[in-house]
Structure 1
Amino acid sequence: MTLAALPRLPLALGLAGLIPFVTTAAMAWWAPLAWQVVAIKAFLFYGAVILSFLGGVQWGVAMSLEPAESAGFRRRLLLSMVPSLIAWPALLLHPYSGAWVLAAGFLLVRLHEAGRDSRELQPDWYQTLRTLLTVAVVACHGVVIWRLSSG
């Protein structure tokens, strides 16, 4: 599926959700030093919120599309908690380590979403949108990690 074929509202909201990632990643490099520190913290906090949100998406899928008390229902509900359990501790780590943990969390969620069990329950456009957004979010994490490693 192409970007032009994506429903407009989810695409617009997804792209709008990238604005804090892109803005704070850029500020980590080009803002005055004191603002760089704030930007990196804001980047990590926003990343933790969005990663947790992605777990909530899976909770919603389980409640809406999985038969209650089925193995798939239980598995999806349990897995829906993993992003929050990755995101929150990442905020307690050094920013460099936390950024790596969050990036890994986004990739793990995407791998789960791309799995057959998830693809069967989600629209095709969701897969395309999530791939686009994950690539952008992980790239922003790379920019912040690079900044943190360059001292």
Structure 2
Amino acid sequence: MTQIPRPALLLGLAGLIPFYWGALTSVAPGLAAWGTEMLGPRFVGPYVQVFYGAVILSFMSGVLWGFAAKGHGWQGYALSVLPALWAFFTTGGGADRAALALVAGFLGLLALDWHFWKTGAAPDWWMRLRILLTTGVVIALSVDLIA
């Protein structure tokens, strides 16, 4: 595998910020109070994680759609929409249930990433980036499940 391009790595890591902000505000009441006052209640704790997680799964469906366009036909396109559909249908029912569903969704996304990488549709460095980011997301979402 080749090295992850710096812009992809830095922007990917920056994309973890809302997940970790949500985790921090889940375990630090003072920070949660400050965040609620400054940003609003939707942007702290599990609320920001669930909303942002659904957005990111949908975004990743678009990325996979781009990989499918490299000649994977119906199967590739069908697989590419699964993360967005997963987020849409599973993130209701409370913060714990939604966080667990998102963990499963991001792990499933990693399997789809591997599929597109293995078939040559994703860049050589793709799995290095996706394993790193998925690990970060799962850890951050797990804070809500154990806090």
Which TM-score band (shorter chain)? 0.7 to 0.9
Matched-pair contact (CA < 8 Å) for 1:90–1:99: no
16-25 or 29-38: bigger deviation: 29-38
Which aligned pairs between 1:33-112 and structure 2 lie closer than 5 A? 35=36, 38-63=44-69, 65-66=70-71, 72-112=72-112
Runs of 4+ with deviation above 4 angstroms: 33-37
CA distance in 1, matches of 2:29, 2:18: 15
Match of 1:12 among 10, 13, 16: 10
SS of 1:93's partner is coil
Offset of residue 81 of structure 1: 1.4
CA deviations 1:100-143 (Å, max 9, x no partner) are 0110000001012113x532211121110011000100111111
CA distance in 2, matches of 1:81, 1:62: 10
Q: Which amino acid aligns with 1:118?
A: W
Matched-pair contact (CA < 8 Å) for 1:87–1:102: yes
Q: Which amino acid aligns with 1:98?
A: A
Q: TM-score, normalised by structure 1?
A: 0.83
CA distance in 2, matches of 1:134, 1:91: 18
Matched-pair contact (CA < 8 Å) for 1:106–1:138: yes
Q: What's the RMSD between the two structures over aligned residues?
A: 1.9
Q: TM-score, normalised by structure 2?
A: 0.85
Q: Which amino acid aligns with 1:84?
A: A
CA deviations 1:56-111 (Å, max 9, x no partner) are 11111112x11xxxxx3211111111111111223322111111011000000101
CA distance in 1, matches of 2:80, 2:122: 15
> Within the alignment, does 1:26 sit opposite 2:19 as a pair?
no
Q: Give the match for residue 131 of structure 2.
A: 131
**Aligned residue-pair number:** 138
CA distance in 2, matches of 1:144, 1:90: 16
Matched-pair contact (CA < 8 Å) for 1:83–1:105: yes
Identity of paired residues, percent? 38
